Structure 1
Amino acid sequence: MKKYFVLSILFLLLYAPVFSQNKVDLIITNANIIDIHSGIITNNKAIIVNNGDIINVCSATEGKKYIANQTISAKGKFVMPALWDMHVHFGGGDSLIQENKDLMNLYIANGIMAVRDAAADISPSVLEWRQAVNEGKLLGPTIFTSGPKLEGYKSIWQGDIEVGTIEEVNKALDSLDKLKVDFVKITDNTIKPEIYLGSIKEARKRGYKTSAHIPSVFTIEQISEAGLSSIEHISYLLRAGLKNQKELTEQVANGSLSARELSLKALNEFDEATAEAAFKVLAKNKTAVTPTLSISYATAFLDVNDHQKDTFLKYIGPGLRKTYDWRVQRAAKDSKEAIEIRHRTIEKAASLLPLLQRSGVKILAGTDAGYLNSFDYPGLGLHQELELMVKNGLTPLQALQASIINGPEFLNKSAIYGSVTKGKKADILILNENPLLNISATQNISGLVAHGKYLDSQYLKSLLVEK
């Protein structure tokens, strides 16, 4: 009897590690996995998830070697990496901190597991949320943030770091270093041209990607050659189609031409061949573009659409809804001519998408959703962005790549995001329809694996709370 007891103990000691290795948090069975790089769908796979990571993607037979705390069948469904929104804002002042924090649920409910926060005025809170999400203490998308952005003196935007000398730029960057920001954002309200270029140069010296609006005194090529990593808002690219772009930007610099006049010329005198040559410069320099079509369409057509009846509006806090008034009131003052120009501008700018794609420019899917940006809803806005991309000439696969592939690539995170494969983070979207056939299928969500934890559609719907 003693002999058998000893043998039993030896057996357990020898084989217990094997058993423990095969115990995992989650298995997704019968998965039809979409490779967002190629568009190829691989059927009937088992996805093995443990400690927030995908540890294996294998056949159904091999999947039986694992013992899971939870098993989910994805039979008849389509599985792909969760979505990324590459341009959002958390802001509106300290009184709106909780309303901004509540937006985290809207992103999760819509299958968005990473956001790039492009600066506002509540950076300390955003940095706290970033850490809490990373530590598993807060349910929300992974946050990549610029912290406060760089601007000139007396900017109209709240929360900026105002700079007027290169010394001040470097002091600003020192402060951003301490915050451990993920990239640097620069805008063009009052910043001096030479300080704008200096900010890009100094930020790049420190290894930061830079994201910016484009001052009217520079050509698109000049900004790209200066090292800018991403241009925010596609309407700036219209000036790339001006045959005499350099001469006209110089006129803006010396005051003989206004920025508004430059924009009108870019709209009316656009030449596709000239723009294509400029876009190839962007591609060469790896300067990405975030179109932000959703906010541009919402703002341009405020005269047509009555957003007060939008279903999603009820999920936005009253304080954030109030910040929408600024754009609404400003648009209401536009003349008939100004309204016609804003319609034409967004339609023409959006039509550049296929040309950008053909030229090799990386397109980033971002919404500009957040405070101030009227009826551009956090979460839902990204689905609308993808629809607008397809409406304006991209294929569904190209639109998905702008979010799922190009987002991580821009932030140097491709090693752990961008595919449902071994070694990647377990942020996984399960859809009831194939989004390669109909991009709107991204809204028909069966479930979401968020940082390794499975959330079914009912739970996701419960995150949509009326305010």
Structure 2
Amino acid sequence: MKQSMLPLALAALLVTGQVHSAERVDLLVRDATVIDVESGKRLPHRAIAVRDGRILAIVPSAKARRYEATRTIDAAGKYAIPGLWDMHVHFGGGDALIEENRNLLPLYLAHGITAVRDCAGDLSPSVFEWRAATASGELLGPTIYTSGPKIEGYKSIWPGDLEIGTEKELDAALDQLQGWKVDFVKITDNTLSPELLLAAVREAGKRGLKTSAHVPYSLTLDEVGSAGLDSIEHIDYAFKAGSPLEKSLGEAIARGEINSRDAFTQWEATFDATRARSAYARLAHNGTAITPTLNGSRVVAYLDQDDHRNDDYLKYIGPGLQATYSWRVERAAKDDAEAIRRRHERFEKSASLLPMLQESGVTILAGTDAGFLNSYNYPGIGLHDELGWLVRYGLTPLQALQASTINGARFLGHADTHGTLEAGKAADLVLLDADPLQDIAATRRIDTVVLKGEAYDRARLDAMLADVAARVATQQAAAKK
């Protein structure tokens, strides 16, 4: 009698939903502590189910049995964060360095960086190719968002620019950039007039394009923010907004009546924190973000204390790229004791603005400025250095994580698919051996990186690094012949 009733009981369980067949997934990360980078909450004992490059679900580990995975990762004791974004990198140095620049892509991935924002160089045709190839999975590396060549004036010192001198040429340049489907527009002021820079910001905004720029000394933060600039690259541009001499000294620099070092001294002497906070609040109201790029600035500011020539990480940087470092090194070497003191002070004063900017509501984007020209500012590990400096100079570990995850995704308009760990979003994540909310240095302790649903464990990440080192060794040997 009991045996005859068993099939009926099973049928009843199936009808009531108490027995389920396992759902197929590509990857199942079991028993991780998920970090919610928006709230700062730790969600312990979670299973992350991944299918077709997307997060299908994040559930309590007790419910993981509902999934049958092609690959399972035991993440007990690990912390899951979204893939990191480096929001300011460069590829460049001329066609002879295309291969050396391509070698940098695995460095980013091996350090948990699943997206980079390329802020212009002279290898845009190659970068466009890499953007497509990394998106399709044909090339190993992070998702690339690029400005293409940046907008500049005639005879700029920077290689690969789109040089303009009139609004008609500006329109043509923007047409060209839109034809390349750039992800944002980069504008700098080496020879570009302030008037054309503002026009470029406004016109790009009308076309629905994000803008990123250096701020000419003769323009105030209010002027570029009101024009609609989306991001200011480098924190030192924000310092002068705290001084009533912001405009007058900036215009004096433009006329050649004073150099920027002496102007900075006067801005510092007249700096008023209340004035600065008001300016930053207006910047936040206008929606202008700031990418501090502390790491690159600090390396150069303190070359007198550490020349970096014996850095172990140089084994990953090709000889041609290393050679591009020399111009900043040689320039810094000419500074006397007073100039060295002043560059230390300028860095420290600029970096100290971080808490004011954060408290004023300005969006902070974590970016390194790594790539060619920028001495010993290394692709990959440099972002972890940057996060360390962000915390050292006033952000909390959570705010630093936000700057390197959700803030970047929001800035580029991809917060619906990236930046946090949620069902439906891209399966880009990093498993850490320690809690980054407790100590931001934990971002260096990477166990596994998942990019578009593909898991790269520590052994595969180490193999990537070893491969890059071998390629660079070959390039160095060839360079010596």
CA–CA distance in structure 2, aligned partners of residues 228 and 210 of structure 1: 6
Distance 1:340 1:364, change over 3 A: same
Q: Aligned runs of 1:231-380 on 2, under 5 Å? A: 231-253=232-254, 256-380=257-381
Asked if the contact 2:120/2:146 (under 8 Å) is kept, the reply is: yes
Q: Deviations over 1:327-375 (max 9, x none)?
A: 1111111122211111000101000000001100000000000000000
CA distance in 1, matches of 2:255, 2:157: 23
- Deviation per CA, 1:225-246: give whole Å up to 9, x if none: 1111000000111101112323
**For 1:261 and 1:321, how far apart are their aligned partners in 2?**
31
Match of 1:91 in 2: 92
> Secondary structure of 1:188's match?
coil
- 5 Å-filtered alignment, 1:120-199, equals 120-199=121-200
**Secondary structure, in 3 states, of the residue corresponding to 1:309?**
coil
Contact 2:245 2:267 in 1 (8 A): no
Q: Does 1:459 align with 2:423?
A: no
- How far the C-alpha of 1:253 sits from its partner, in A, is 4.7
Kindly provide the CA deviation profile for residues 187-235 of structure 1, in whole angstroms up to 9, marking residues without a partner as x.
Answer: 0100012111111111111101100001011111111111110000001
Further displaced range: 321-330 or 456-465: 456-465
Is there any run of 5+ residues in structure 2 with no aligned partner, and where? 1-18, 473-481
Distance 1:270 1:135 in 2: 50
Residue 19 of structure 1 and its aligned partner are, at CA, apart by: 9.9
Partner of residue 425, structure 2: 424
User: How much has 1:255 moved relative to structure 2?
Assistant: 5.0
CA distance in 2, matches of 1:60, 1:254: 65
Q: Distance in 2 between matches of 1:367 and 1:255?
A: 30
Q: Which amino acid aligns with 2:388?
A: E
The match for 1:68 is 69
AA partner of residue 144 (structure 2): I
Shift of 1:254: 5.0
Aligned to 1:393: 394
Q: Is the alpha carbon distance of 1:342 and 1:255 closer, same or farther for their aligned partners in structure 2, counting shifts above 3 Å?
A: closer
> What letter corresponds to residue 102 of structure 2 in structure 1?
K
Deviation digits for residues 287-344 of structure 1 (CA, Å, limit 9, x no counterpart): 0000000000000011110301111111111111111111111111112221111100
Quote the offset at 1:139 in angstroms.
1.3
Deviations along 1:138-188, one digit per CA (max 9) or x if unpaired, are 111000000000000000000000000000001001110111000000001
| Residue identity matched to 1:88 | V
What's 2:226 paired with? 225
CA drift at 1:464: 1.2
**Residues of 2 paired with 1:57 and 1:252: CA distance?**
55
2:476 maps to none
Q: Does 1:41 align with 2:55?
A: no
* Residue 450 (1) aligns with residue 451 (2): yes
Question: 1:249, CA displacement in angstroms?
Answer: 3.0
- Distance in 1 (CA, whole Å) between partners of 2:221 and 2:326 is 32
Task: State percent identity of aligned pairs.
Answer: 53
Within 5 Å, which residues of 2 pair with 1:399-414? 399-414=400-415
Q: What amino acid does structure 1 have at the position aligned with 2:392? A: K
- Which one-letter code corresponds to 2:112 in the other structure? G
Instruction: Return the offset for 1:405.
Output: 1.3
1:106 lines up with 2:107 in the alignment: yes
Q: Is the Cα contact below 8 Å between 2:47 and 2:59 reproduced in 1?
A: yes
Distance across 2 between alignment mates of 1:205 and 1:219:
22
Alignment match, 1:9:
none
| Distance in 1 (alpha carbons) for counterparts of 2:196 and 2:344 | 33
Q: Could you state the TM-score of these two structures normalised by the residue count of structure 1?
A: 0.94
Extract unaligned runs of 5+ from structure 1. 1-17
Q: Name the TM-score, length of structure 2 as normaliser.
A: 0.91
Please list the CA deviations of residues 264-298 of structure 1 after superposition, one character each: whole Å capped at 9, or x if unmatched. 32233322111111101111001000000000000
Q: How many residues align?
A: 452
Return the alpha-carbon distance in structure 2 between the equivalents of residues 350 and 278 of structure 1.
17
The answer (yes or no) to whether the contact 2:22–2:66 under 8 Å persists in 1 is no
